[in-house]
Amino acid sequence: MKLNISISLWNYIHYFPLRKGGTSFSFDQGLDSLAKVVEEVAAAGYGVELWPKWSGWEWTSPAREAMVSQQFDLYAPENRERLAQILRGVRSSWHTGGDDTIEGYQCRIDTLAHVGSKVLVVHASSLFLDGPEPNFDFAGRVLDYAREKGVQIALENASEGEQEQDRMLWNLSILQRALRRFDDLKICLDTTHVQKFKRFPLREYIDTLKERICHLHISDALGDEVGIGRLHTVPGTGKIPGEDWRYLLEVLDQIGFQGDAVLEIKPLTPIRIADQTAEFFAHINQFPGG
């Protein structure tokens, strides 16, 4: 199947400092620089996933490599009208972050509803769904509000519980527990998070969660206990087996997946990363046994 590929602003957060001004983007124009990023991403045929903060990078001196940044809270109500303009006609999703209160979630969900985005990716810990005593009441209130606003909460498999001795507190078990409690809770499947901890193989995540997968975070990994750059590489360049990528595409096709495959990869140019990823998946589709 053909995936709807999107580029996470997470990529740019890591990419900008590495380039030292070598991109086509202005670093010192705040939301205007974000608009230029989104425009170029959309022109290349990709969607975007927004993070709570956007940094406008600015050189401190032409003779020095040090940079300072001005951060913008993209969830702030005063930014909604500008963001609605920037994202008009562009596939978009959001990653949560910031104030983990009911009011904080209402602000984030209101932002998504205002700008026309449909999916908010959330870690289990941010909804207090991890650990031996999950706060189902809190999560339920967030889900109720999201439903009213037409926003889908997508629970991401991440690191919560993976260091525990009790397998019932490992991340896949946490997700299953939450899905049993909430019928309208969906899943964002992150391939690298599976690869890092190896509590369960990727196929088991796929088979267990497939009916609820609405969103993807895509990257490969060069190792297990390695640095963040080696855990977020282009698909096909790491240790996730080719047959696992093929299996993922097959299952997504079976369930009629229509969501976004969001790339969280560094440090190459984000558009080049997206092009390479599209080529990799096209090759798998063309040569399913190769």
Domain count, the chain: 1
What CATH number should be reported for the domain holding residue 149?
3.20.20.150
| 80 close to 126: Cβ distance less than 8 angstroms | no
CA-CA distance, 91 to 84, in Å (whole number)? 12
Outline where DSSP puts E strands in the chain. Answer: 4-8, 47-50, 53-59, 67-73, 92-95, 119-123, 152-156, 186-190, 213-218, 260-263
- Tell me the pairing of strands 152-156 and 186-190: parallel
Better pLDDT: 251 or 13: 251
Residue 289 lies in a domain: no
Beta-bridged to residue 187, according to DSSP, are 155, 213
Residue 9 lies in a domain: yes
Residue 242 lies in a domain: yes
Residue 115 lies in a domain: yes
Percent pLDDT > 90 in the chain is 64
Provide the residue range defining the domain that includes 208. 4-284
Beta-bridged to residue 260, according to DSSP, are 4
Residue 85 lies in a domain: yes
pLDDT band at 262 (very low <50, low <70, confident <90, very high): very high
pLDDT in tens, 16-35: 655 444 443 444 567 888 89
Residue 118 lies in a domain: yes
pLDDT band at 80 (very low <50, low <70, confident <90, very high): very high
Q: What is the pLDDT of residue 56?
A: 57
Residue 217 lies in a domain: yes
pLDDT at position 164 over 90: no
Better pLDDT: 62 or 148: 148
Residue 290 lies in a domain: no
Q: What is the dihedral of CA 140, 137, 175, 229, to 10 degrees?
A: 90
pLDDT in tens, 86-102: 999 999 999 998 889 99
